[in-house]
A and B are shown apart, each in its own frame.
Chain A
Amino acid sequence: MHDAASGVVPYHAHQFDDAEQQYQTSTLGMWLFLGQEVLFFGAVFATYFYYFFLYPDAFEAASNHLSLTLGAFNTVVLIGSSLTMVFAVHAAQHGTKRAQMAWLVATMILGIVFLCVKAYEYTHKFHEGLVPGELFTYHGPDAPQHQLFLCLYFAMTGLHALHMIIGIGILAALVLLANRDWFNAGYYSPVEMTGLYWHFVDLVWIFLFPLLYLIGRH
């Protein structure tokens, strides 16, 4: 907002005409990155659907190895963290530095809560002998297919968790930068782009939750 009243002069690098063009360029660049992330996760989802079509009954049965309560709790936590993230972006646009840092930290905390629940779930899988490979001890009906489902579970949630760990690291960097007054109403692209990344990670979970936790509940 480069109105004279607020006294905020938007910063833009010399290769851009103005702050608006710079903003649109970062947005497009971020969406290009997210577009290839769609392909990256799309390949894993394609694998999931391939084997779901082969073994629908076994996959639905194997889905019940997972805890619906923990999965639903994590869904609420992650969507909540998306809300705090949009508030952080909103605070960068209109609010104070204090509000912006508070919302960023809130987003980090929710992300860490999500990862803690995930870690608890993983530990539980080790104890139950549901980790694919040498440690797999389930010998009920369709055991190989159950193992395949759990392979996909660990691959998909593992990649998702990796994205969250990276996201929390970026959020930590943003908190430090915000503390040094890097962002103002005229320049907040890093906060906005991190928001896009964080929402994308939320988006992946929105698909993972029903496909992994819900398909076998009926």
Chain B
Amino acid sequence: MSEQKDSTSVTGEQHSISVPTYLAVFGALMVLTAVTVVSAHIDLGHFNIVVALIIAVTKATLVVTYFMHLRYGTNMTRAVLISGVIAVFLLMGIAIDDLRNRHTRTYLPFIGALNGVRPPNAPLPPHPPEE
């Protein structure tokens, strides 16, 4: 933003990506959608979610780079996005690390006790298991 633009700088052209590029990106996104649906049917156990996430991150990168024009964005806009993503990773990482070190189960209102353990004074689950 602070960089000095010479008088020939053009607002329009600089951020413009050609229509064939947009169509190619759209095609790639469609192909990746098909790949993620097909790969979901292959049994990889719990690694299916990992494969799905890798494909989703690839698609997200395409959208951010071309559709959202970050390819031509300033480093400042990139820094904003990256810091947001890092913050989310911190949140997930710390929460899941906490989970690894925990042996109690969680009680949620309306859902009841998961794994049958209820904290003291908690109301009964709304749907006691039948039979």
Known: A195-B67, A206-B63, A214-B52. 17 other contacts (CB 8 A): A2-B10, A20-B5, A36-B84, A39-B87, A42-B92, A53-B99, A80-B26, A83-B23, A83-B26, A86-B22, A86-B66, A90-B16, A136-B127, A145-B114, A151-B110, A199-B63, A218-B44
Of residues 32 to 70 in B, which have CB atoms within 8 Å of A's CB atoms?
33, 36-37, 40-46, 48-49, 52-53, 55-56, 59-60, 63-64, 66-69
Please report A residues at the B interface, Cβ cutoff 8 Å. Answer: 1-3, 10, 18-21, 23-25, 27-28, 31-32, 34-36, 38-39, 42-43, 45-46, 49-50, 52-56, 60, 68, 72, 75-76, 79-80, 82-83, 85-87, 90, 93-94, 132-134, 136, 139, 143-145, 147-148, 151, 185-186, 188, 192, 195-196, 199-200, 202-203, 206-207, 209-211, 214-215, 217-218
Cross-chain contact A206 with B60 (CB below 8 angstroms): yes
A30 and B88 alpha carbons, distance in the complex (Å): 19
By DSSP majority rule, is chain A's interface helix, strand, loop, or mixed?
helix
A-B contact pairs, 29 of them (CB 8 A): A3-B10, A24-B74, A28-B77, A28-B80, A32-B80, A38-B87, A46-B88, A46-B92, A50-B95, A50-B96, A53-B96, A76-B30, A85-B67, A86-B22, A87-B19, A90-B16, A90-B17, A90-B22, A134-B126, A143-B129, A147-B111, A148-B111, A151-B110, A202-B63, A206-B60, A209-B56, A215-B48, A215-B49, A217-B48
Contact of A199 with B37 at beta-carbon distance under 8 Å, contacts A38-B81, A132-B111 already known: no
Contacts of B76 in A (CB 8 A): 28
A55 and B87 alpha carbons, distance in the complex (Å): 25
Residue in A closest to B8 when the chains form the complex, CB atoms? A3
Of listed B53, B68, B130, residue having the most chain A CB within 10 A: B68
